[in-house]
Structure 1
Amino acid sequence: MESLCAGGKYDGAVQVLDELLEKGTLLSPKSPVMEAPAYNPVIEYLCDNGNTNKAETFFRQLMKKGVDDKSAFNSLIRGHAKEGALEAAKEILAIMTRRGVPTDPHSHALLIDSFLKKNEPADAKTALDSMMEHGHLPRPALFQSVMAALFNDGRVQTASRVMKSMIEKGITENMDMAHKIVEALFMRCHVEEAIGRVNLMVENGCMPDLDKLLAALCEKDKVMEAQKLADFALDRDFEVSFSTYDRVLEALYTEEKTLPPYSMLCKIKHKGGVVDQKGCDALMDSLKAGGYSKQADILSRILVENGSSISKRGKKSAMGA
């Protein structure tokens, strides 16, 4: 077979293989173990030409003789993936894992792409995890494809886990899908997870557009989610415009909330932010009406102090002029 393959006579090599398989020669204790140059070209040829099942039958007989060949294993995975026999490809991968045979990143990627083409995003995600477990770093485009497929299938939290793995692997390019996932987490009330993803993005140098995100939450009446994100941004001194915070406050006033906007106002004023005075006055009335006189007094003092400091700065500017 080796000489036939070397001469490009693959059909002849396959005929020889058929005879060996039919007679059971390969399994005979008397037959020597075949060397890699003799079997790998035939296996590769079969896998490239839609006959991976025969290649697997051949290689399984070699495995019984103790053969653990990385190239042959990976050819089988690629062949099964191309032919759409994804369960067979997964089984070969499982055998490689059990035997400690190194895998090929291209084989993993091909398996993932095949699952995506068959519209099986959950299996694609499992294959992606397997790829990373074997020590391979998926391409950014592969991460994006799996996230998009999961997201479009309504599996937002699963897509979020892929996003987390991607960012932790240092891949922070083309973050459009990541932003969509974060917004969807908030929309589905997975606030803690969403804020965790925002924090992860910030820690890895890819600051999300918090103004845009807060505006979207307010537009879609996710007021409490917007308030929690706003509090998170204020606590960490992230760059968010005070006009955006004011929009969140207005949404809270509309919902007739009292303590959440009170907490936000105190933080905004502490940072020197300017907010709508009418809204502040209305909030103080609501606090008093709700039995929160202490909070109303604190807010009143903060507003007076803030107004005084602004006035002093204005006078100093005038004197300097």
Structure 2
Amino acid sequence: MLLLRRRSSFTATRCLSSDSSTSQPISASSSPEEQPQNDDQNAKPKSSNKTKTSRTMARLINNRPWSPDLESSLSSLSSHLSRTTFLQTLHLIRTPAKAVHFFKWAQDSGFSHNDQSYFKLLELLGHSRNLNAARNLLFSIEKKSGGAVKLQDRFFNSLIRSYGQAGLIQESIKIFMTMRSVGVSPSVVTFNSLLLILLRRGRTTMAKKLYDEMLSTFGVTPDTYTFNILIRGFSMNSMVDEGFRFFKEMSRFGCDPDIVTYNTLVDGLCRAGKVRIAHNLLKGMHKKSADTNPNVVTYTTLIRGYCMKQAISEALGVFEEMIGRGMKPNRITYNTLIQGLCQARKLDKIKEIMGGMIGGEEFIPDTCTITTLINAHCNAGNLDEALKIFGKMSELQVQPDSATYSVLIRSLCKIRDFERGEELFDELSEQKILSRDFGCMPLVAAYNPMFEYLCGNGKTEKAERVFRQLLKRGTQDPPAFKTLIMGHCKEGTLRAGYDLLVLMLRRDFVPDAETYESLIEGFLWKGEPDFAHNTLEKMLKSSHLPKTSTFHSILQALVKHGHAREAATFVIMMLERKIRQNINLSTDTARVLFKSGLRYTAFEIVGLLYENGYSVKMEELVSFLCHNLKFLEARELLLFSLEKHRSIDIEMYSTVITGLCKIHRAPEAFGLYYELTEKGSQPGLNCLRDLRISLVAEGRSNEAEFVSKRIERKNRDL
């Protein structure tokens, strides 16, 4: 079910997570980052003049590069920088590097930084994930302040939280361990911060150990926030019984459970499927103090628990009880209940609720509500009804989000009504709904049926526009990448397909062999062997082994288009990977290298081929060189053939020797002749006569006499 594939198995949970802190199963105050006793306790300054000055300074810093001119402008705005102005300005600076510049400039201008200043900069660097800079700052505070500011636990707490938010648990633990070595005792806030990090990552064993050390080794007394974190953390990790153990332990430390504690337990029990126990706990809350009476979060959480178990009658009973106690349901309560009713196919009851018939309450639906209804009708096969509801959204002044469109588009594709699906897809693209920061986090997979339709019908560019909007929202899906790349291959827009392949690899997705092969074939067909070559290299890095014929096709294309250097590199790569060579392609590669003037590379390639048990058509290659008057290169190949004991027609030697003589390279001609005689072969008389004449003409009398004797001997043999 499409709508349910979100951050939770229930859409209502998604709504809960996006609402204000009062709608959370655990309120924001349960986070150690925001505890009253934690860290920045200074009230926001109220001076309007100072606020105006700080905004002006921050605007200058944000819009201009840091320079002496900027520093002069800042000095003119505030000749005597107050602490309030400094802190407000620092808070408004958008770039961490500029914040550091401003911090240093203020100090150089005579401003005396205190613990509050350093803490503010630590927080700023940590939130922007400049963790190395934050760490360096922490351990340089005493030195930078000349000993005026001592290391405090809240400095360490800030960095512990920042590492935790970045997912670097071990670094958070290292900072915690460092505290003691530098003489700073961890506080309850320190332990709360670390416990929260560990439990969010499912490290329950480590969290238990840390809690025990907190009590026994460090002698720190837990507070209500500690227990709220522990109860929620263990409950969220499917250990609600362990959460209850901590609940019972609260009284030992004089900690009174608050509404957050009870809401956390109700949530944990519901997640564990123990909804009846959660309901009994809610009933017991009425017997406690007024501060722990169930609130809208408690009831909404219990309604969600019953809905998850398909116990709709009980969910409705809790809903009515809530209203009977004078408590007004919020939109999350309604959406939670409506989601459950949709799951149970009780659409008539939804109309009753939306009409405000229960409790006489007026209910204004939101995007989540409408999308839930649309999804329910789609799942029930009432697509026309779903489209009617979609059409009424503008009348209700409710904006559709990505989930609304994805439900309808996917349902239309399912019944092969691609025309209407494409209309909605166009609307989605034109209004850039996927780029909006509010609403559901879109799922690429939800649009895959439309991507497949568009890419199969020559509209890949349209599909890619929406796909890239999805990527900007941080969502991605390997099958969608492949669909689009294959669409580009089909339409001949191969460069666009290649760009998507690179993007796919940057996001650590591995394309399959078919994707690579389609791009390679397309580039070869379009006469772009360099791109085919690059694609093959990426294919190899993805641990795919192309067919030997693919290697040969790319090499053939490189040679055909005269890409000599690339062809040589490609042959070397083939040899390194033990790819079988083709003698015709090997010969053609050497030929194009010689033709391009890359004689040394050509000799290197020929040598490597023979070293690896392959060969070239040597006579064909020598003939090509002679035809192009490259007799010196031809001579080298013949000498190489003699060294390798390769049989070459004697007339080929005669041709090269005669050619060398004609270009006045008699010594080189004689050298080839001599090596040939050492192997027991002799060229014809005409060749020898030409050689003798050239040697005499170039003053090589000894070599000429040697050749003369050979001519005489040959004449005698005749």
Same fold, TM exceeding 0.5? yes
The residue that corresponds to 1:184 in the other structure is: 592
The structural deviation recorded for 1:116 is 4.0
Distance 1:5 1:280, change over 3 A: same
**Superposition map of 1:1-321 within 5 A:** 1=407, 2-18=410-426, 20-21=428-429, 22=431, 24=433, 27-34=436-443, 36=445, 38-172=446-580, 174-276=582-684, 279-280=687-688, 283=691, 286-287=694-695, 290-293=698-701, 295=703
CA distance in structure 1 between the partners assigned to 2:583 and 2:476 by the alignment:
40
- Given that residues 25 and 31 in structure 1 are in contact (C-alpha distance below 8 angstroms), is that contact kept between their aligned partners in structure 2? no
Residue deviations 1:147-183 (CA, integer Å, cap 9, x gap): 4444444444444444444454444355434322322
CA distance in structure 2 between the partners assigned to 1:199 and 1:25 by the alignment:
58
The structural deviation recorded for 1:144 is 4.2
Residue identity in the other structure for 1:53: E
* Higher relative contact order (Cα pairs below 8 Å, separated by 6+ residues): 1
* Structure 1 vs Structure 2 CA RMSD: 3.6
What is the DSSP-based 3-state SS (H/G/I as helix, E as strand, rest coil) of the residue aligned with 1:273?
coil
TM-score by length of 2: 0.37
CA distance in structure 2 between the partners assigned to 1:77 and 1:193 by the alignment:
36
Residue deviations 1:227-285 (CA, integer Å, cap 9, x gap): 12112222333333444323322332343421112211222222222333564466456
Residue deviations 1:6-43 (CA, integer Å, cap 9, x gap): 5544445445544554472674544144273x333332
Distance 1:9 1:275, change over 3 A: same
Distance 1:123 1:293, change over 3 A: same
The structural deviation recorded for 1:221 is 2.9
The residue that corresponds to 1:315 in the other structure is: none
Distance 1:190 1:162, change over 3 A: same
Distance 1:188 1:15, change over 3 A: closer
Distance 1:132 1:297, change over 3 A: farther
Distance 1:144 1:168, change over 3 A: same
Size of the aligned set, in residue pairs, is 305
- Given that residues 444 and 477 in structure 2 are in contact (C-alpha distance below 8 angstroms), is that contact kept between their aligned partners in structure 1? no
What is the DSSP-based 3-state SS (H/G/I as helix, E as strand, rest coil) of the residue aligned with 2:605?
helix
CA distance in structure 2 between the partners assigned to 1:238 and 1:121 by the alignment:
34
The structural deviation recorded for 1:73 is 1.1
CA distance in structure 2 between the partners assigned to 1:16 and 1:132 by the alignment:
40
Once the two structures are overlaid, the 10-residue window that deviates more, 50-59 or 95-104, is 50-59
- Given that residues 658 and 691 in structure 2 are in contact (C-alpha distance below 8 angstroms), is that contact kept between their aligned partners in structure 1? no
CA distance in structure 2 between the partners assigned to 1:120 and 1:23 by the alignment:
35
CA distance in structure 2 between the partners assigned to 1:277 and 1:85 by the alignment:
63
CA distance in structure 2 between the partners assigned to 1:25 and 1:196 by the alignment:
55
What is the DSSP-based 3-state SS (H/G/I as helix, E as strand, rest coil) of the residue aligned with 1:247?
helix
Residue deviations 1:72-97 (CA, integer Å, cap 9, x gap): 11211222232233343232222122
Distance 1:238 1:10, change over 3 A: same
Residue identity in the other structure for 1:257: R
What is the DSSP-based 3-state SS (H/G/I as helix, E as strand, rest coil) of the residue aligned with 2:504?
helix
Distance 1:30 1:194, change over 3 A: same
More helix by percentage: 1
Distance 1:139 1:249, change over 3 A: same
Distance 1:259 1:64, change over 3 A: same
TM-score by length of 1: 0.76
What is the DSSP-based 3-state SS (H/G/I as helix, E as strand, rest coil) of the residue aligned with 1:81?
helix
For structure 1, list consecutive stretches of 5 or more residues without a partner in the other structure. 312-321
Residue identity in the other structure for 2:440: S
Structure number, greater radius of gyration: 2
CA distance in structure 1 between the partners assigned to 2:450 and 2:459 by the alignment:
11
Once the two structures are overlaid, the 10-residue window that deviates more, 18-27 or 198-207, is 18-27
What is the DSSP-based 3-state SS (H/G/I as helix, E as strand, rest coil) of the residue aligned with 2:683?
coil
For structure 2, list consecutive stretches of 5 or more residues without a partner in the other structure. 1-406
The structural deviation recorded for 1:106 is 2.6
- Given that residues 187 and 222 in structure 1 are in contact (C-alpha distance below 8 angstroms), is that contact kept between their aligned partners in structure 2? no
